[in-house]
Structure 1
């Protein structure tokens, strides 16, 4: 359905990839570079007050690996009052359980690491940036949302409903010159990794952990999900974990 909507429209000549330095956004970057060439791709990272600033270092590293331009936006003032467990000033702890376990315990809805309208905020800022630097070209914004994050309404701003409506708003507000592209929104994280392995993504440079330690913790929800995604593809995650976690269990070795 989304592919049909693109039929007959001018092809994008530029791409801005919303980059957290993690598995999903780095795979999007690989797709964008494969389609448009590194010279036409820019990664955009966002500091929003998160405690795990290691992701910004990873985003810079993958941008340098691909030879693309890289920008960092500061949106921390907007979210400074959020008590999400991801925020530096939060009194909440990051839960060391899978999203499925958290939803089973707490019910469907926001998990502790949900940041209020984060993807909407970031996409709005990046759409404005795209229209500013490429006013006469068609630019695609890549977002690494996937179905696992949207499951159980944990992150509603990763759902197809959200990306469809946000994409429509972005196009209307930019005279059709900026589009939202979420290539994995209907897929799971294992599918994201599968595509990335095909493209030779340097996953060893990425960072997903919600804790800001020297090594990924291996037990928070996002660590568990990426470990599971690699194992579903028959390979081990190339990053070194502080506490390697067994697949979707509470036991770690």
Structure 2
């Protein structure tokens, strides 16, 4: 009999959610949910998420949100060109703000976390696990400390159950996330970060660049296959 409390993990298959889920897997009985919202990388994200759940021996559900792709004009869900960025530009706040706007999906984390709340209430889960982190928060406000505190306040007021969002990476940069993932034996090699959705990581989109830099700076062996 599993006496651990239940938790819902919002698992994209990327580095952040993979490490966050692995970090808390011994504390909770986890049900991971992955969203297909029409993103270019949906097939690979789902494939990666399933492999991660198999490795961690946790339940996995894919949720289709076809309507989300039709909103806005994100390069992730349209034919707009995905911006590329050099390794030496990753800390250029003004430039990264511009690239973030091009890949912004309207209300994505609000929608994902709200749906995860529905799962949590229906399953009696005590927590929602997310991979929000400090590096992403620099350009994506829905990864920030303020967003985390505000959403937990919404749950406190709006849910009859005691549910808390757990964001164990909220104070970490990508390098620290890779280091933590290595320490907790997260299946980093199964994670998928590329915006373009190819079998191999493109190696040139901003997400790939941040992944490559994190592995390089951490000294952890990067088993990712990059096209470039």
TM-score > 0.5, shorter chain as reference: yes
- Structure 1 runs of 4+ off > 4 angstroms? 106-110
Q: CA separation in 2, counterparts of 1:177 and 1:97?
A: 42
Distance in 1, Cα, partners of 2:58 & 2:10: 13
Contact 2:8 2:119 in 1 (8 A): no
Determine whether 1:14 maps to 2:21.
no
Q: Once the 2 structures are TM-superposed, how far is the Cα of residue 95 of structure 1 from its aligned partner?
A: 0.8
Residue pair 2:200, 2:225 contacting (<8 A) in 1 also: yes
**Could you give the per-residue CA deviations for residues 142-194 of structure 1, whole angstroms, max 9, x where no partner exists?**
1101111111xx21101111111012112322224221111111211111111
What residue number does 1:133 align with? 123
The TM-score normalised by the length of structure 2 is 0.90
Which one of 13, 17, 34 corresponds to residue 26 of structure 2?
Answer: 34
1:164 to 149, 156, 165: 149
Q: State the shift of 1:69 in Å.
A: 0.5
Q: Distance in 1 between matches of 2:98 and 2:170?
A: 19
Deviations 1:80-101 (A, max 9, x none): 22210100xx231111115736
Q: Give the 5 Å matches for 1:208-219.
A: 208-219=193-204
Q: Which secondary structure state, in structure 2, belongs to the residue aligned with residue 97 of structure 1?
A: coil
- CA separation in 1, counterparts of 2:197 and 2:9? 23
2:225 equivalent among 227, 240, 252: 240
Displacement of 1:76 in angstroms is 2.2
Q: Give SS of 2:219's match.
A: coil
Matched, 1:52 2:52: no
Q: Name which one, 1 or 2, has greater alpha-carbon Rg.
A: 1
Report the Cα offset of residue 102 of structure 1.
Answer: 6.8
Give the TM-score taking structure 1 as reference length: 0.82
Q: Work out the CA distance in 2 between the residues paired with 1:21 and 1:79.
A: 19
| SS across alignment from 1:116 | coil
> Does residue 142 of structure 2 align to residue 150 of structure 1?
no
Instruction: Identify the structure with bigger relative contact order (alpha carbons < 8 Å, sequence gap 6+).
Output: 2
Aligned residues: 222
Change (3 A) 1:133 1:205: same
Contact 1:209 1:216 in 2 (8 A): yes
Deviation of 1:111 after TM superposition, in Å, equals: 2.7
* Residues 29 and 101 of structure 1, relative CA distance in 2, 3 Å threshold: closer
Per mean C-alpha deviation after superposition, the further-off stretch among 18-27 and 162-171 is 162-171
Could you list the runs of 5+ residues in structure 1 that have no partner in the other structure? 1-11, 244-253
Provide the C-alpha distance between the structure 2 equivalents of 1:47 and 1:221, rounded to a whole number of angstroms.
21
Q: Is the 8 A contact 1:103 1:109 kept in 2?
A: no
Match of 1:186 in 2: 171
